[in-house]
Structure 1
Amino acid sequence: MVFDFKLVIYCFLCNCLSGIYADISGVNGDVSQIWKELNELKTVLLETRLDLSNTRKEFADSRKVLGQELANTKQTLKDTRQDLAETKRELNEIKKVTYRSKAQFDEIHKGNDQKRFLDTANELHELQIDMQNMHQLQVDVQNLKAKMAAVQLQVKISQTPRIGFTSTISQDVVNLGDNQVIRFDRVYTNEGSDYNSLTGIFTCEIPGLYAFYVHTLAEPGKHLETEITKNLQIMAYTYAKDKEAYSSGSNMAVMTLQKGDTVLVRSHGSQHDHNGSVIDSGYTSFSGFLIAP
């Protein structure tokens, strides 16, 4: 029984010693790691001391350079202050000279100011008179131009103008349209050049009493109605229609025209045949002349 108790104690002690040994082994491992880290930290500290030493050296050199530059700057500032003082004295002298010159200038021109003012006033007055005369001259010129235009028109009207034309169609008119202007393109007479063969329109240039005559010839079996217009207002009609033979229509219109009024001949609305040859060119004419201005 005693032996068993000792055995139990022995086993207990062995277990305790094993745990203590394991703890010591773990501590030894931690200590090694700590020494390793201490050595690395030492190395870092040495490098830091070296960098700090170099930095202190560089700082000393920079301080020396800055001290030299500061001394140079102080000297420059001193020289600048002296230059500014000298400039200030020169400016004061210039100011004094300027004041004296201004006083002399004022004294010289003081007596001339009133004369200048009077001369300027006289010049302005004369300029105003010239402008008034120029305006009156412009009015006179405009009046003269108006009178000249009136005289020219009167002279033109008072003369016996030669206004008259006669024109025919150079080829048959086919497929006649509604209200189509008939262009009498072959001109025999055109005194005054008021008739335009390209458009078939007479445009009045000299006001007066005019007479216009139109004669048309329709193709066999065709229906044709035309109208003489003044500013597109109907003044006279023509009518031509025959089932088998040629048919003709003619009329005259006397009218008073003003400058710019137009006279032409056109188909009377849709009162005509549309297809094929409608108007014969050989016997279709348009004439007009001035009776009296």
Structure 2
Amino acid sequence: MTLRIVHLLFIKVLLPEVTWCQDVPVDISQSLSVLIQEEANIRSQLDADLTALAQTLDALTNLQNNVTCGCPGRRPPVAFSATLTNEITSLGTNQQVPFDKVLTNVGGAYDSRHGEFRAPYDGTYEFSVSLYMRGARWAGLEIVREGVAVSKVRTGDGSEYTMAGTTVTLALRAGQDVWVRHIDESDSNAIDGETFPTFSGHLLQV
């Protein structure tokens, strides 16, 4: 069909004007008329296809907005969880605790090398930390935002194993850091690992 249209255009452009005079044979005139009509039909079909394509694109856009709620300021999810695998026996005052085994790190905001979470964008976040201690000693940890403690947990007993935790909700600006450190009220410079202690957090809303 395309070759026939090209052929028609070639005839219309390159043949002398005389070929369109009244002495053109009837069969040629009829063939040209058929080609012209076919070209018009093709153009009409292309216009219809373009309209249908635009409608499909609009439908897909609406579907995407529904899936993502179409909310202004929507951001990808952020969530992490890490555990402490080994006992630490030489914690200093206010020393940062590196929760080394990463279980979840959606968004990549948690750095296991230093045990720090860095907010990728402004929003409200929730953090929790748990602490596990053997008998005959106690210790404490605190969640820290930009160097300032915002929540503490401590546990211990004269003979029994103990475990405790705390959770806090924080408003963070993009780039602010949150981590866990050893509190100075502890009577021990050690905390047990074995994946019992955990440090977790996730984005609630932006």
TM bin, normalised by shorter chain, reads 0.5 to 0.7
Partner of 2:23: none
CA separation of 1:206/1:157 partners in 2, compared to 1, >3 Å: closer, same or farther?
farther
- Which of 269, 272, 280 is matched with 2:193 structurally? 280
Please tell me whether residue 252 in structure 1 is matched to residue 167 in structure 2: yes
Structure of greater relative contact order (alpha carbons < 8 Å, 6+ residues apart): 2
Shift of 1:188: 0.8
Shift of 1:177: 1.3
Q: How does 1:194-273 map to 2 (within 5 A)?
A: 194-273=109-188
CA separation of 1:202/1:217 partners in 2, compared to 1, >3 Å: closer, same or farther?
same
Amino acid at match of 1:265: V
Which 5+ residue runs of structure 1 have no aligned equivalent?
1-154
Q: How does 1:51-200 map to 2 (within 5 A)?
A: 158-200=73-115
Instruction: Point out the structure with the larger helix share.
Output: 1
CA separation of 1:204/1:224 partners in 2, compared to 1, >3 Å: closer, same or farther?
same
How far, CA to CA, are the matches of 1:191 and 1:183 in structure 2? 18
The alignment partner of 1:269 has SS state of coil
Q: How many percent identity over aligned positions? A: 25
CA separation of 1:173/1:283 partners in 2, compared to 1, >3 Å: closer, same or farther?
same
Which 5+ residue runs of structure 2 have no aligned equivalent?
1-69
Partner of 1:137: none
8 Å contact from structure 1 (residues 194, 202) kept in 2: yes
How far, CA to CA, are the matches of 1:239 and 1:213 in structure 2? 13
CA separation of 1:177/1:291 partners in 2, compared to 1, >3 Å: closer, same or farther?
same
8 Å contact from structure 1 (residues 157, 206) kept in 2: no
The alignment partner of 1:179 has SS state of coil
Q: What CA deviation, in whole Å up to 9, does each residue of 1:105-145 have, x standing for no partner? A: xxxxxxxxxxxxxxxxxxxxxxxxxxxxxxxxxxxxxxxxx
8 Å contact from structure 1 (residues 182, 265) kept in 2: yes
Partner of 1:55: none
Amino acid at match of 1:190: N
Higher-Rg structure is: 1
How far, CA to CA, are the matches of 1:207 and 1:287 in structure 2? 18
Instruction: Give me the TM-score of the superposition, normalised by structure 2.
Output: 0.63
Shift of 1:215: 0.7
Query: Between Structure 1 and Structure 2, how many residues are aligned?
Result: 137
Amino acid at match of 2:199: F
Shift of 1:260: 1.2
CA separation of 1:270/1:193 partners in 2, compared to 1, >3 Å: closer, same or farther?
same
8 Å contact from structure 1 (residues 162, 290) kept in 2: yes
Mean alpha-carbon deviation: is it higher for 173-182 or for 250-259? 173-182
Q: How does 1:19-58 map to 2 (within 5 A)?
A: none
Q: What CA deviation, in whole Å up to 9, does each residue of 1:270-292 have, x standing for no partner? A: 42302xx5323331000000000
Instruction: Give me the TM-score of the superposition, normalised by structure 1.
Output: 0.45
Shift of 1:156: 11
How far, CA to CA, are the matches of 2:180 and 2:134 in structure 1? 18
8 Å contact from structure 2 (residues 78, 107) kept in 1: yes
CA separation of 1:157/1:244 partners in 2, compared to 1, >3 Å: closer, same or farther?
farther
Instruction: Point out the structure with the larger strand share.
Output: 2
8 Å contact from structure 1 (residues 216, 284) kept in 2: yes
